[in-house]
């Protein structure tokens, strides 16, 4: 077995066997290592709370096998137009009042049209003025579009890799893996932070889960935020209709969180989609293994999420507290303040 002893603080040269060896560690040893890495860079009693709002739902031309927003699938999701900025700001104020420090805006586009960018920029400026961190996920971006969003004050851009390169074609055919990497390059070059993770439990192997995390860790810069989603099987989507994908084992999900924390120690690791069906005990194990960010609120784009009161009670039981936003760091480029690992069901 490859050596899986103490690891350097930051690496971008992980090989597949090293990451698989971490997955194969005895569960308690793996979680202990992840918890130690977490404590080196974060207060383990703090969890960042983010809110995600779908500002434009449905009608997406892509064929992502997990996504209820694809127009080709019959999932009951109705396509909507882009929300007005005033309505978005009303929701952002409510999110801040409920304890959120970051507000994420998602639009079901393959890529935004240039005429859409000024409308989104208006939302970003308004949310920013409330003292919240801003994040958006709008699909693929060109370099000029990324520059325009940065100029509007966007802090983070979410664009997930979804899964390992060698499993990607089993899930999506309308966009290449390189398309995703190109968008991340445009985001980094514009000076924004990246929010990039994936979805687990889509029928991939453990080696492919390791391949996803390895790809993320070997990017030119670790994603500041790495969302980890557990597949939500929505009726009408191919991954639900095939009826062959079993829910990912809970301990395997925790292992995924722990390995992400070890190989991307300064990133925020976020529990995203699928949390509605996670027990309190499973979430507690994830926090122990290095997850330090959640999405807060009733819905993640089009899928359910635990309610705010339940989260507050869980935090109280575990002795956790919401991470407070340091406003002077909203625009900072430090990868240690609010970097997070989030995997969410967003194109």
DSSP conformation class of 328: G
C-alpha span between 126 and 191 (Å, rounded): 20
Choosing from 180, 261, 270, 275, the catalytic residue is 270
104 among known catalytic residues: yes
C-beta atoms surrounding 347 within 10 Å: 27
Choosing from 33, 60, 214, 275, the catalytic residue is 60
196 among known catalytic residues: no
195 among known catalytic residues: yes
DSSP conformation class of 49: E
Q: Is the dihedral of CA 228, 230, 234, 240 positive or negative?
A: positive
Torsion region of 72: left, alpha or beta (phi above 0 gives left; psi -120 to 50 gives alpha) = alpha
135 among known catalytic residues: yes
Cβ atoms of 62 and 233 within 8 Å: the answer is no
Interior CA angle at 69 toward 63 and 70, to 5°? Answer: 25
Collapsed DSSP state (helix, strand, coil) of residue 154: coil
Choosing from 180, 195, 255, 261, the catalytic residue is 195
Alpha helical stretches, state H, the chain: 16-23, 27-41, 85-97, 117-129, 143-152, 177-190, 206-217, 238-241, 250-263, 280-288, 308-318
* Chain-centre distance for alpha carbon 225: 7
Interior CA angle at 163 toward 160 and 166, to 5°? Answer: 135
C-alpha span between 94 and 56 (Å, rounded): 19
Choosing from 33, 102, 135, 230, the catalytic residue is 135
Choosing from 33, 64, 214, 261, the catalytic residue is 64
Choosing from 102, 104, 196, 230, the catalytic residue is 104
Residues with catalytic annotation? 60, 64, 67, 104, 135, 195, 270
């Amino acid at each position: 077995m490859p050596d899986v002893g103490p690891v350097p603080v930051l690496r971008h040269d992980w090989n597949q066997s090293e990451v698989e060896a971490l997955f194969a560690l005895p569960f308690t040893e793996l979680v202990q290592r992840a918890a130690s890495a977490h404590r080196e860079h974060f207060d383990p009693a703090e969890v960042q709370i983010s809110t995600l709002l779908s500002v434009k739902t449905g009608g997406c031309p892509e064929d992502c096998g997990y996504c209820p927003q694809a127009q080709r699938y019959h999932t009951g999701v109705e396509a909507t137009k882009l929300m007005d900025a005033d309505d978005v700001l009303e929701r952002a104020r409510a999110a801040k009042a409920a304890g959120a420090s970051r507000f994420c805006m998602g639009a079901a586009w393959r890529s935004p049209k240039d005429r859409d960018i000024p409308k989104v920029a208006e939302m970003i400026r308004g949310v920013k003025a409330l003292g919240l961190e801003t994040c958006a996920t709008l699909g693929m971006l060109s370099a000029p579009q990324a520059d325009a969003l940065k100029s509007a004050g966007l802090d983070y851009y979410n664009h997930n890799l979804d899964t390992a390169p060698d499993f990607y074609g089993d899930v999506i055919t309308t966009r290449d893996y390189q398309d995703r990497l190109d968008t991340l390059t445009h985001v980094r070059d514009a000076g924004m932070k990246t929010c990039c993770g994936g979805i687990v439990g889509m029928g991939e192997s453990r080696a492919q889960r390791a391949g996803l995390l390895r790809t993320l860790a070997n990017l030119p810069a670790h994603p500041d935020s790495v969302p980890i989603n557990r597949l939500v099987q929505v009726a009408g989507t191919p991954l639900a209709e095939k009826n062959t994908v079993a829910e990912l084992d809970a301990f395997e999900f925790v292992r995924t969180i722990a390995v992400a924390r070890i190989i991307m120690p300064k990133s925020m690791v976020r529990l995203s989609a699928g949390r509605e069906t996670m027990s309190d005990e499973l979430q507690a194990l994830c926090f122990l293994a290095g997850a330090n960010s959640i999405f807060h609120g009733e819905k993640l784009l089009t899928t359910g999420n635990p309610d705010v009161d339940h989260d507050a009670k869980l935090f109280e039981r575990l002795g956790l507290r919401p991470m407070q936003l340091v406003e002077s760091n909203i625009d900072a480029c430090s990868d240690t303040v609010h970097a997070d690992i989030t995997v969410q069901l967003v194109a």
